[in-house]
Structure 1
C-alpha cells in the first residue's frame, strides 16, 4: 500500500468514528431532553431556571414573551396564540379548546405557576389572561403582590420562587383559595 491509500483509509476511519461519536452524543442529548419533558409539564416539578432566561423589562418583546410561555407548564402542552395589549400592559394567551372538569385542579396549579412566572419575569406586564373557548382566567400583578405580600420582581430568585410559589402548589386548599380570592374567572359562553 502506498502513502496515498493509507491516508485515505485513515481519513475514512476518522470520519466513521467521528460520525458515530456525534450520533451517540446527539442521541444522548435527545434522551435527556425527553426525560426532562414530563417535569417541565408539571408546575410542581418545573425547573424555574429554564424560564429565567426570558426575564425582560418590557412585554413588547413578542418573541421573548412567546418563548417564555412556551417554556412554562400550562402553555408548553397545548398550542396557543399570544395577544399583546400594550396600552393596558396585559397579555392574553389564547387556547382553541374547551376545558374538561378532569383538568381543573392541574390547570389551576399550572395557571398559577405560569401566570405568576409571567408577572415576575416580564417587569412591565400588569395583567395576564389565559383564554379557553369556555372560560378565561386572569391574574393581575397588584392582586398577586397583595396575596403574597411581596414585590413580584423579588421572586426572580430560584430559591425564593420555590419557597413562595412552587411549594404552595401541592396544597389543594391553598390553590383553591388563591383561585377563589385572587384569580378572575370569566365565562366565554354567550
Structure 2
C-alpha cells in the first residue's frame, strides 16, 4: 500500500466534498492532526476507519486502497491487488504492535533493574527483589521477539540469557561489596546479633559478609569467601580494622619518634583518632603526648577507652623503635605508660615479634583478639598511670 498516494487521494476527495480537515475528523472521531498525517502520507488510517472514511469521501473502499479512481472493468483486478496489499499491511501492523509490546516490556524491565540499584539502599531487600523482577520482564520481552525459532530453543536461549545477566549482577554486586564496603544486594539471609558490639551477617550464595561494629564510627566489613565463619565464630575487633589493623599500621614502622609526619599518620590510623587530636614530640626523652578532643568517661561503653589506650600503646611501642613513653590527655583525665612497663606486664608481648620484625598474624592473635576480653583489659590497664 502506497501511503503517499493514498494520502494525496484522501486530500483530493476531501476537498471535493468541501470538508475541512477538522470537519472530516469530527465525522470520523479523530483529530484534524490525524487527518493531516494521513494526507501527508506519514500514517495510514486504522483498518477500522477505512470503510467509514471511504463512505464520507463518497468513494469505494477499493478506490481508497488503490489511491485512485477505478474504472468498473478494472474493479476486480484492483480488488485482488488491494486485498493482497491489505493482508500484507495487516501483518506488518500486527508485527509492529507485537514488537512495540515486546520493547515496552523490555524497557520496563531494564528501568526496573536500574531503579533497583539506584533507588534502594543496599541494606534493603527490595533492591534484590526488584532487580530480579526487572530481569524477568526483560527476558520475557526477549522471549516474545524470538518467535522465528522453536519454542524449546526460545526457552533455552531465554534461560541462558537470564542466568548470564544474573551472573553479571552478582559479579557487579561483589565488586560493590569489596570496593565500596557495603552489604551485598543479593543475599538469602540477614542475621543481626549483639556480640561485644552490633554484628550483622549477610549470607550470599557464594560468600558471607559480616558488618562488624555496625552503625558506629568503627564499623568495618569482613568478607568470608570460604564461608568458614558464623556469627558465633567470626573474629571481631572493637576498632575499625580497615584503619587500625596491623597489616595497615606496619607501613608506619620507624626507628625514631622524631619523624613527625610518620608519627602523625600512625596516630590518625589508631583508635580514638575519630574524636580529633593534636600531639607533641619530646625529642630529648623520646616520648610523645597525644591530646584527644574528647572526655574519657563519655561514650566509654564496654571499656572502649581502656581497650583503645592499650592497643595504641602496644602498636606505637612495637612500630617506633626508640619510643619510651606516651602520655594520653583527655578533657577529663590523663594517662601515661612507659615502654618497659608495657613490655614487662603485657602477656606474650615478645611473641608479636619474629626476628626483630612484627608478625602481623601473631599481633592479631596476642593483641587485637585480646581486645574483646574485658578481664584481660582490666588487668593490663593497671600499668597506666593516671
Of 220, 223, 239, which residue of structure 2 is paired with 1:39?
A: 220
Of 374, 378, 381, which residue of structure 2 is paired with 1:172?
A: 374
1:66 aligns with 2:264: yes
* CA pair 74-97 structure 1, distance change in 2 beyond 3 A: closer
Give the alignment's Cα RMSD to 1 decimal: 3.0
- Match in the other structure for 1:57: 255
Cα displacement (A) at 1:150: 4.0
Structure 1, 147-156 or 126-135: larger mean CA deviation:
147-156
Q: After superposition, what is the alpha-carbon deviation per residue over 1:65-114, rounded to whole angstroms, capped at 9, x for unaligned?
A: 00011111222x11100101111111011013322354160111111111
1:161 aligns with 2:375: no
Query: Is the 2:351–2:362 Cα contact (8 Å) retained in structure 1?
Result: no
Alignment partners' CA distance in 2, 1:152 and 1:64: 25
Alignment partners' CA distance in 2, 1:151 and 1:38: 30
1:87 aligns with 2:284: yes
Query: Is the 2:278–2:290 Cα contact (8 Å) retained in structure 1?
Result: yes
Cα displacement (A) at 1:156: 1.5
Of 110, 115, 129, which residue of structure 1 is paired with 2:313?
A: 115
Of 92, 98, 106, which residue of structure 1 is paired with 2:304?
A: 106
* TM-score for the superposition, normalised by structure 2: 0.37
* TM-score for the superposition, normalised by structure 1: 0.72
**Which SS does the other structure have where 2:280 is aligned?**
strand
Alignment partners' CA distance in 1, 2:315 and 2:279: 16
Alignment partners' CA distance in 2, 1:152 and 1:130: 26
Alignment partners' CA distance in 2, 1:150 and 1:168: 12
**Which SS does the other structure have where 1:165 is aligned?**
helix
Structure 1, 35-44 or 57-66: larger mean CA deviation:
35-44
- Match in the other structure for 2:335: 137
Alignment partners' CA distance in 2, 1:125 and 1:30: 36
Query: Is the 1:54–1:64 Cα contact (8 Å) retained in structure 2?
Result: yes
Cα displacement (A) at 1:135: 0.7
Query: Is the 1:141–1:152 Cα contact (8 Å) retained in structure 2?
Result: no
Cα displacement (A) at 1:31: 2.2
Query: Is the 1:55–1:122 Cα contact (8 Å) retained in structure 2?
Result: yes
Tell me which structure has the larger Cα radius of gyration.
Answer: 2
* CA pair 44-31 structure 1, distance change in 2 beyond 3 A: closer
Cα displacement (A) at 1:54: 0.3
Alignment partners' CA distance in 2, 1:97 and 1:159: 32
Query: Is the 1:129–1:139 Cα contact (8 Å) retained in structure 2?
Result: yes
Query: Is the 1:43–1:109 Cα contact (8 Å) retained in structure 2?
Result: no
- Match in the other structure for 2:123: none
Which blocks of at least 5 consecutive residues in structure 1 are unaligned? 1-27, 186-190
Number of positions where the alignment pairs a residue of Structure 1 with one of Structure 2? 158
- Match in the other structure for 1:97: 294
